[in-house]
Amino acid sequence: MKTKYSNYFTAVQLFVAALVLSACSKSSDPAVTPIGPVTPVSNVSYNYALLSDSLQAGTYVAFISADRNYFIQNNSGNNTFNYWPNAHMLDVLTDGYLRTKNAVYTQRMKTLLTGIKTTNGGAYPNEFYDDMGWLANASLRAYKETNDADYLSVAQLLYTEIKGGSNTVAGGGIAWQRTQLYYKNIPSTGNATILAARLYELQGKAEDLTLAKSLYDWMKATLVNATSGEVLDGINRNQDGEVDNWVFTYDQGLFIGSAIEMYTITKDPAYLQDAIRTANNAIVDPNLTVNGIFKSEGQGDGGLFKGVAIRYLTLLAELPDLDATDKAKYASFLQKNAQSLYVKGIARPSLMISPDWTKLPSGSTDLTTQLSGVIMIEAAAKLKAEAIIQ
């Protein structure tokens, strides 16, 4: 696929990647392999891998804390440590490692893993079950790709904590936080379902499969529209048994991800159909998309929502058992989002990302917002390498 834009974008990306990597590298840091010269052409293809290199490097420099233990809240002076975006930063660094196999990523992954513990008061558990779920899943994924047992230890530690959020209030599910054990939602329960299913796949413990099935069934029965597949956020927040009619992109992503994992470990086609139903709704639902692009959900926590949706929709598009029609549909949606972000949603030369992938950012950029964009471009690089998108 060609773009009318000149190779200016490519030249800027190369320059920024080289500049920021040299600026942040220490003698102990492996340098990222040089990409090579730019060949002047009038039209260029979308080079998602090159842009991913630049975004990874630029994000590291703009958001790394002074002590290099964690990534800060925004690029304009707020140094606050927020647990769940740092969990996603671990996932994003893992994306970079998978694409490049460059040791700079594994070094930064391990530094972040230990830095989260240090910054979180010397321990990994915290108040929020969804926070722990994000980090547990990111750690388990890092373990799968590096075989470093420290990641598995963190995932298992947090899994034990997360199971403490399970009770029969509101019919099941995982609580959102320790002080609100009555409030159940998709962020906590979806993460726990994915984690239990992946641990079952890894270790074969029957109790993990039982928990994954139970949590999945609760989500589907309680918070998923049986006809449309639309996923609502939570229930019983005010201890009244009511469902919050909040529709967020990340809830769709977590349910899709849960269905994929359940299908992977059971091969029950009902799970795959659940994923397809929710995905088919998510890519057209006006609550979630505008003209085929995932909508802006603001910055703060909302800045990271569509990154979660992209991650799991990408896994669905890659699933070997998906039929050609559905694969093409999701590929088209993901490509449209990636191309819009590539051309319209990234400031150059700063490489800061907008919460709206159809327009340039203005003002400061939150780490959450930046991460969603990096997840999208890394996903596009992977899908292009697999010939799923152009």
pLDDT attached to residue 30: 36
User: Which class for 90: exposed (0-12), middle (13-18), buried (19 or more C-beta within 10 A)?
Assistant: buried
Check residue 40 and report its DSSP letter.
Answer: P
Cα→Cα distances 140→49, 94, 117, Å: 24, 11, 16
pLDDT attached to residue 86: 99
As a whole number of Å, the CA-based R_g of the chain is 20
Token pair listed for 72? 């800060």
Apex 333 CA angle, 328 and 250, nearest 5: 120
8 Å CB contact between 93 and 109: yes
* Cis status of the peptide bond prior to 349, with omega within 30 of 0: yes
Cα–Cα dist 343/339, whole Å: 6
Cα–Cα dist 297/66, whole Å: 29
pLDDT attached to residue 45: 82
**Mean pLDDT over each residue of the chain, to the nearest integer:** 91
pLDDT cut 90: percent of the chain above it: 88
Token pair listed for 377? 């471009």
Which distant-in-sequence residues (6+ apart) come within 8 Å of 346 by Cβ?
51, 55, 352, 353, 354, 360, 361, 373
Taking residues 258-270, report their average pLDDT.
98
Taking residues 41-67, report their average pLDDT.
89
Nearest CA-CA partner of 249 in 286, 277, 215: 286
Cα–Cα dist 206/218, whole Å: 19
1 or 290: whose pLDDT is higher?
290
The model's pTM is 0.91
Number of H helices, E strands in the chain: 13, 8
pLDDT greater than 80 at residue 19: no
pLDDT greater than 60 at residue 48: yes
Which distant-in-sequence residues (6+ apart) come within 8 Å of 380 by Cβ?
46, 48, 334, 335, 338, 342, 389
pLDDT greater than 90 at residue 16: no
pLDDT greater than 80 at residue 147: yes
Cα→Cα distances 148→55, 123, 143, 152, Å: 26, 19, 5, 7
Least confident interval from 24-28, 191-195, 247-251: 24-28
Confidence class for position 43, pLDDT limits 50, 70, 90: low
pLDDT greater than 70 at residue 321: yes
Taking residues 380-387, report their average pLDDT.
98
8 Å CB contact between 233 and 305: no
Taking residues 372-382, report their average pLDDT.
99
pLDDT greater than 50 at residue 111: yes
pLDDT greater than 70 at residue 349: yes
Taking residues 229-237, report their average pLDDT.
98
Cα–Cα dist 326/328, whole Å: 5
Residues 154-167: tens digit of each pLDDT: 999 999 999 999 99
Cα–Cα dist 20/112, whole Å: 19
pLDDT greater than 90 at residue 79: yes
pLDDT greater than 90 at residue 250: yes
pLDDT greater than 60 at residue 18: no
pLDDT attached to residue 345: 98
Nearest CA-CA partner of 379 in 100, 95, 107: 95
